Structure 1
Amino acid sequence: MKKLLLTCAFIVGVSLALLNFQGLAVKGEFDSIIINFRQDISQTELEYNLSAIASQLKQVPILNSIFSEEERIYIVEGDKKTIKKIRKSPFKSDIEYVEPNYIYHSLEVPNDPAYSQQWNLRSINIEQAWEDSKGEGVTIAVIDTGVSKVPDLENTEFVEGYNFVDNTINADDDIGHGTHVAGTIAQSTNNNYGVAGIAYKAKIMPLKVLGEHGGSIADIAEAIKFAADKGADVINMSLGGGGDSQLMQSAIKYAHDKGVVIVAAAGNENRNSAVFPARYPQVISVAAIDSAGLKAPYSNFGAGVDISAPGGSETGKILQETINPENKQPEFIGYQGTSMAAPHVAGVAALVKATGMENPDEVREVLIQSARRVEKDPLNHYGAGQLDATQAVRMALKGKITPKDFLRWLKENGYLNPVFWINGGTITLLPKLAMVLGSYLLAWFLRNYVVFNLSLSAGLVTGSSGLFFLQGLYLFDLPQWPFRLMGSSVPELGNVVMGTPSLNPLFASVLIPFILVVLFLQHPQLKWGAIGCSLGVASCLGITAFLNPFVWGLGYGLMSQIFLLINALMCVGLAYLASKSASFN
């Protein structure tokens, strides 16, 4: 009898401790409450309840939208105190559930103040692509007029480049073209300054081959081989001209054979063929479109064009921070040209490379296959279509389930965040652990009669918590009910069956433990599972009585508390009698 009293004191003590526990995490912000009325109550009862709530809260509940009428989902302004008032009201039994109307925010939108002016990034569908790749670990060689580290490139990582014009290691930009191109590719992003870049976690390798009057094929070819030898993954060449060159072709083949993706501008003469080096088969040739998604007036088209990307026009230019060629000072300037279109493709190629795709031909194929098709394009203004960053990254990731991908999925869904498990996720960890711990302590109180073994442990876990962590898992398109079933304790099984937050009194009682004890008391192993289940149910009911006393038919509050505590005590008594009897077998 003394042990039974100690057991009761333990259940009440743990329950009160959890009742006063304030949590370790903020669950979310909200300023309104969702009230979901049961669909089986009459319209008259519903109107009476709405009137009663309006009188109690001094505000009229409103339908969330015209689509909420059938589901009977209403909204009222309020906080946690409002929720408690509603749950304790006389009409609480007519309500399916009451919960905070949490406020969510859009994902992966940079905080760069001028990002809203970058129509070009949104037109390539970049924001969803960022959820999977930001270009980590990829190096992009910008073969251009050099790159200067303007303020909005301060957080962008650079690797050593070279100045082939002056034969020095200082590859700063004195014209502004190369810095603008590098900004489109990897402008520092989420730094509360300026604008954003596509693969903003990639590294830039500045290679200066152009001066005020252009640059030679010899310098460009050397820069291509330099980039390939120094570990570049992607090369961008926003440059071009007429004339085939064996030296250039040899350098491009060399880089391609070393796994480098090579991107070049198609040219700005509005001519029916791309310029060199974009014309070479190993190079991805990029034509330009304007802010309306149409061919830019200046862009080359036809032979040699592989894909199109935003290059801008007078109706909307490409904005990045670069060097003003007049005073050599940093400035946000809008440019237009296929020179601006090519780095969009180079940046997305870096996003694709960062997923683990190595072969440059496979990267090219992903970019081509994922592009948005333009149905009527007889003159090949757009190549395979218009660049789509999200579809490219998704296609690159399709079918890849690696440990890295799985960890990334866990992280993005919150499962690697301790805050999620402690108090902020789908499952509340602390009460569940307390239920398991409580069931083991109850078994310890009966240690003179209980035989600790695997069967007993399985019963304790099944009765108290189930494999509760499975309830928060959402695996692709698999149905969720098996996870909810395995993740439920015995008292919660009715919730899975009925799809309601209130406990079913048949499951949340001594009934199932009693049936199990009767069935298995004479079995040498299963009897301990039945006894463990009885103790586990006792722990679960005792703690739930103080944390969330909500039993179907009894409402939320005192009546449910009394029901749960009485059944918890009966489960302890049943386990005591059964274990005492079983110990003699």
Structure 2
Amino acid sequence: MASALGVTLLGGAAVANAIAGQESSSAAPSVPAAPKAAPAAGQSDALIVGYKPKAPGARSDTAVRQDTKAVAAQAEEKLSFDRRLGTGAVLVDLGGEQPAKDVAEVMDQFRADPDVAFVVPDRTVRAAAVASPSNPNDPRLGEQWDLTEARAGMNVPDAWRTSTGRGVTIAVLDTGSAPHSDLAANTVAGYDFITDAFTAKDGGGRDNDASDPGDASKAGDCKDALGRPLPAARSSWHGTHVAGTVAAVADNGKGVVGVAHGAKVQPVRVLGRCGGSTSDIVDAITWASGGAVAGVPANGTPAQVINMSLGGGGACDPATQGAIDSAVQRGTTVVVAAGNENSDAASSSPASCNNVITVAATNRAGDKAGYSNFGNAVDISAPGGVTNRNPAALDGILSTLNSGADAPAAETFAFYEGTSMAAPHIAGLAALLKAAMPALTPAELERAMKDNARPLPGTCAGGCGSGLADAARTVANVAGGATPPEDPASPPAEDE
């Protein structure tokens, strides 16, 4: 079920094997610490409730139904138990979209129960893009300044001498992936986690088809965080663009090259028309990292890296944090976009979560991109591009796309901008490092990126993390026995 609160994301605690409608004999999930700032209630159609480990509701669906019935009577609302998420938290249906005041009252009723560890609204996330071999023969590599240019590129081709990401799987939690010949050879089976039929645009229901049917919407179909109707929008093919940045096929005489072109991409569909629900995303994080989700087949190729180019307003909540923590405990590195509000990333989720690599975006001159969030929550920066400053200058990020206005049509390539485009550069770098040194933990991998970043050649007001990621320097440092290329001389800054 999709909510209409705005743009955020979710997680949970540890993996539980409870199946809706049955009792579970598995251990109760661990409970993440409360966030520094709890997410505010807003209009929503569902809540995510986490129980303390020894509470009956942590194991028993019957106990949850009883609790839900009691809260419904107290709040005079039509509530029902929907399902147990992969983290052990439960989804409670509010009987349709409710105004913020009513949602807050129901949340207060759950919080009054000493067995409840947390309760958060099931919020909506959206994509964080702003619409718009060492020497491979791919004809459009020359347009990928983000990989190659000395001033503000990530110095990626030199890293390919040591690592291409071979043997690593990167899960892209996004809109799914449209068919594209520059991606097909590097794509492994994923999953569609969207439960709401309107959001899914493919009949609804979870299934093993992670292809993108399009996320186009008519005027008024979607609403912003304040409930205001949004204009009509073409299909974005956002997940296809992100996947190409991560691992488009190299040396095939076609198109572009991915940062980790030796790695595999696993499309995990969580975003559709108007965005995606946090309850679907928490299960996707769990499954992608190798955890168990009731009713979903086990992931045959668990990801060593997860990319989430999505999010929105609101502090990181316990459900989000728990799912991320569990993924990291399984050894999966989680990379997220900082957000596109030109504000402090501490007020954006999942950018403000712990145990993630939060990525700000830079432009072709090496400045923080004007849209990019900033601040102490940012760990590192990567090229995100700018497409509206001078479209003729090709200053956006070029990657794989589809030409369809609604449903899939012909494959194509296009320039996009956003922290959505910056994050997959870092996810790709994570794959290069993991392939070069498989024993690296997520924390060690992040430390290596930060220690080998170089100062932004431009400016960043507010904080852009450790600087601009340098792929060659980082891979050489991790792999050992190789001398990182010296910093190239910086050419004059381009006019803004």
- Out of 342, 345, 363, the position equivalent to 1:290 is 363
Structure 2 unaligned segments of length 5 or more: list them.
1-132, 196-203, 215-235, 291-298, 483-496
Return the index of the structure with the highest Cα Rg.
1
Match of residue 144 from structure 2: 118
Which among 148, 152, 173 is matched to residue 178 of structure 2?
Answer: 148
Greater relative contact order (Cα < 8 A, sep 6+): 2
1:261 to 320, 333, 351: 333
Structure 1 residue 398, shift from structure 2 partner? 2.3
Distance 2:240 2:313 in 1: 24
1:388 aligns with 2:475: no
The one of 247, 251, 263 aligned to 1:186: 247
Is 1:233 the equivalent of 2:315? no
Separation in 2, partners of 1:286, 1:326: 29
Distance 2:422 2:429 in 1: 11
Distance 2:439 2:468 in 1: 21
2:417 is aligned with 1:336: yes
Q: 2:402 aligns with which of 323, 340, 364?
A: 323
Q: Which residue in 1 is equivalent to 2:208?
A: 169
The match for 1:224 among 255, 277, 285 is 285
SS of equivalent to 1:126 = coil
Is 1:146–1:163's contact at 8 Å kept on the other side of the alignment? no
**Deviation sequence 1:416-472 (CA, Å, 0-9, x none):** xxxxxxxxxxxxxxxxxxxxxxxxxxxxxxxxxxxxxxxxxxxxxxxxxxxxxxxxx
1:272-310 residue CA offsets vs partner (Å, 9 max, x unmatched): 225211211201000000111111110011131111100
Equivalent-residue separation in structure 1 for 2:318 and 2:439 (angstroms): 29
Aligned-residue CA RMSD in angstroms? 1.8
Q: Which residue of 2 is the match for residue 303 of structure 1?
A: 376
Give 1:373 deviation, angstroms: 2.1
CA distance in 1 between counterparts of 2:428 and 2:279 reads 26
Residue 201 (structure 1) shift: 1.2
Write the letter of the residue equivalent to 2:146.
N
Give 1:379-418 correspondences, 5 Å limit.
379-398=461-480
Using the alignment, how far apart are the partners of 2:244 and 2:322 within structure 1? 29
Contact kept? 1:164, 1:207, Cα under 8 Å: no
2:193·2:281 contact (CA, 8 Å) conserved in 1?
A: no
What residue identity is the alignment partner of 1:108?
S
Query: For residue 332 of structure 1, what is the amino acid of its counterpart?
Result: F
The equivalences for 1:557-568 within 5 A come to: none
The count of aligned residue pairs is 294
The answer to whether the Cα contact below 8 Å between 2:367 and 2:460 also exists between their aligned partners in 1 is no
Deviations along 1:237-293, one digit per CA (max 9) or x if unpaired, are 000112332211110000011110000000001112252112112010000001111
Q: Deviations over 1:87-135 (max 9, x none)?
A: xxxxxxxxxxxxxxxxxxxx82210111111111111001110000000
1:267 aligned partner, one-letter code? G
Partner of 1:547: none
Change (3 A) 1:128 1:357: farther
Aligned twin of 2:57: none
Distance 1:295 1:158 in 2: 34
User: One-letter code of the match for 1:259?
Assistant: G
Q: Distance in 1 between matches of 2:258 and 2:429?
A: 10
**Counterparts of residues 25-174 of structure 1 (less than 5 Å):** 108-122=134-148, 123-165=153-195, 166=204, 167-173=206-212, 174=214
Shift of 1:325: 4.5
Matches of 1:213 and 1:307, distance apart in 2: 29
Distance 1:377 1:311, change over 3 A: closer
Q: Which runs of 5+ in 1 are unaligned?
A: 1-106, 401-585
Shift of 1:340: 0.2
Name the structure where strand makes up a greater proportion of residues: 2
Amino acid at match of 1:271: S
Q: 2:431 aligns with which of 329, 346, 350?
A: 350
Counterpart CA distance in 2 for 1:307 and 1:313 is: 18
Are the aligned partners of 1:227 and 1:235 in contact in 2 as well (CA < 8 Å)?
Answer: yes
Task: Determine if the alignment matches structure 1 residue 252 to structure 2 residue 291.
Answer: no
Which position in structure 2 is the counterpart of 1:58? none
Secondary structure of the equivalent of 2:399? strand
% identical equivalent positions = 44
**Equivalent position SS for 2:178:** coil
More divergent stretch after superposition (126-135 vs 312-321): 312-321
Matched, 1:200 2:282: no
**Cα distance, 1:377 vs structure 2:** 6.4
Change beyond 3 A, Cα 1:378–1:188: closer
Distance in 2 (alpha carbons) for counterparts of 1:210 and 1:265? 15
Distance 1:110 1:375, change over 3 A: closer
